[in-house]
Amino acid sequence: MDVEEILKKMEEVIGEKPKPQVLFAKVYPEWLERQMNERKFVMSLPSIPEKYKHLIMVAAAAAYGSETCTEMFAKIAKRSGVSDREIAEALLIARFAVASTIFATATPALEFLTGEK
């Protein structure tokens, strides 16, 4: 499958051509088919329902701080039938998980402050 066909399929899923993939394909076009195949593989795994996979992708992208990917995954989720409230809840869960990691990050400092280190 050529680059334009793959980008057209991505556009059908997202509602637009994903700019990062469009740009990267200009530099390294053979990567794009691999990206598409990896998505197919992940979405075909049987244990987690498709809806949850979309919500995980939205939450993970937000947790990593990628505005572009968060928006793209939210668009894909919406086009797949995920509600606005479900997407918002996934974002709240991601926010909680990221905020909670501060305690693990701060453990050495807390050990120092409490004299346990």
Q: From first to last of its 117 residues, what are the pLDDT tens digits of the chain?
A: 899 999 999 999 899 999 999 999 999 999 999 999 999 999 999 999 999 999 999 999 999 999 999 999 999 999 999 999 999 999 999 999 999 999 999 999 999 999 998
pTM of the model: 0.86
Side-chain-side CA neighbours of residue 43 (13 Å): 15
Angle made by CA atoms 14, 19, 21, in degrees to the nearest 5: 85
Whether residue 39 sits in one domain with residue 25: yes
Q: Based on the domain organization, do 34 and 59 belong to the same domain?
A: no
pLDDT of residue 117: 81
- The answer to whether residues 54 and 17 belong to one domain is no
Quick one: 64 and 115 in the same domain? yes
Task: Identify the pLDDT of residue 1.
Answer: 81
Shared domain for 53 and 67, answered yes or no, is yes
- Same domain membership, residue 117 and residue 66: yes
Count: domains in the chain: 2
pLDDT at 78: 97
- What range defines the domain where residue 91 resides? 49-117
Domain check: are 25 and 66 in the same one? no
